Structures are given as C-alpha cells and as structure tokens.
Amino acid sequence: MASVLSPDRYVPASVRTSVKILIVGPFAVGKTTFVGTLSEIRPLRTEERMTQAGALVDDLSGVRGKDTTTVAMDFGRLTLSDEVVLYLFGAPGQQRFTQMWKDLAHGALGALVLVDPTRLQDSFDVMGLLEELDLPYAVAVNQFDGAPRFPDAELREALDLLPQTRLVTCDARDRASAASALISLVDYLFTPVRQEHS
C-alpha cells in the first residue's frame, strides 16, 4: 500500500514556518507560467478560454497568442528548507478582479511583481494597489523572447521605483531564473534596510 504522506502532496513534519507570497502583475505577463515553473506540486490553475465577449473588457493590445486567462488564482508550493515552505498565490491581472486580488493579499508577507518590458505602463496600477495595501514587493522583469532589454537605471526610472525596491530580470519559464527572482523578494522582505524605511 502506498504511503498517504506522499512527499509531493504534504510538507515535511519538520516545517515550522510557512510564508504566503503573491505573484502579481498585469494581464498576460506570465504569472501562471511563473507559479507552474516553481511549484513542487501540481499547481492549481483556474484558467479559462477567452471568448469574444471578453474582448470588450480585456485589452489585448501588445499581447500575442493569448487565448486563456486566469479567472481566480494560481496556487503552488515551494519548500525552501526542512523548516520553511513558500505558498505561491498568482493573482489575476485584470482590473475587474481587484477585490479578489485584495482578498488574496490577506496574510501575505510580500509580492513579486512581474513586468513585461514592452508594456511597463501596465504595471503602475498593480504597484499602486500594493502600496495602497502596504504590502512590500520586489519587481521582476519577465524577459520574453525578442523583448527589448533596458539598463536597470532606465527601468527604475520608468517604473518610478524607490531605491530600496529590488529589481531583477527573469525568465518565468526557467526554474533557476524564476527561483532567483523569488529569492530576491524573500531576501528583500528580511533585509533590515527595508524595515528601517517602512
């Protein structure tokens, strides 16, 4: 008989700390991909096929090949050590889901904002909402194939980031790259300098 305590379903008994992290960003920036890339369990996805009716409310300008959208959340888990586990909650990017977004933020330690370098302006509402909720965040520029690359100083200025806000570049499809972005957030959350500015 197979063990009920399958390691891919349950965290080790030694885990003492669980951390809720939001993965946020505008519509079609790669949040579902990011959570799926990192999750050690089969991720929960609530994607639905986009319809013609959705074109009236979802701005598809600048988005290529998008035919599904998250309608509730993505959920994944990543065990960092024998004692620490991260629970990843990917929030929908459209403004009509703002209330759900706020509900997901309850109990979160922080958020990683995924940004599309070709649609930087689409990230302002997301970062504004995080600031309204007083939820600390780091920013990860999701480097899509063929997307332009900008110096960090230009990205910081364009996104109007505070000096202490972490900014990294990642590829949401690559586990090592996505993990590095997430580690930058966790490191930022526990940095004394950030606590002094809060």
pLDDT in tens, 34-91: 999 999 988 876 554 545 555 545 555 555 555 555 545 788 999 888 888 899 999 8
pLDDT of residue 96: 59
Report the CATH superfamily, name and number, of domain 22-197. Answer: P-loop containing nucleotide triphosphate hydrolases (3.40.50.300)
pLDDT of residue 34: 95
pLDDT of residue 182: 93
Alpha helices by DSSP H, 133-198: 152-159, 175-189, 192-197
In the structure encoding, which two tokens stand for residue 187, read together? 């490191």
Please return the burial class of 196, using the count of CB atoms within 10 Å of its CB with bins 0-12, 13-18 and 19+: exposed
Spatial distance between the Cα atoms of 91 and 22, rounded to a whole number of angstroms: 7
Residue numbers in the chain where pLDDT is lower than 70? 1-9, 11, 45-72, 93-97, 192-198
> pTM for the complete prediction?
0.79
pLDDT of residue 65: 55
Spatial distance between the Cα atoms of 25 and 52, rounded to a whole number of angstroms: 23
Spatial distance between the Cα atoms of 26 and 140, rounded to a whole number of angstroms: 12
Element at 82 (helix H, strand E): none
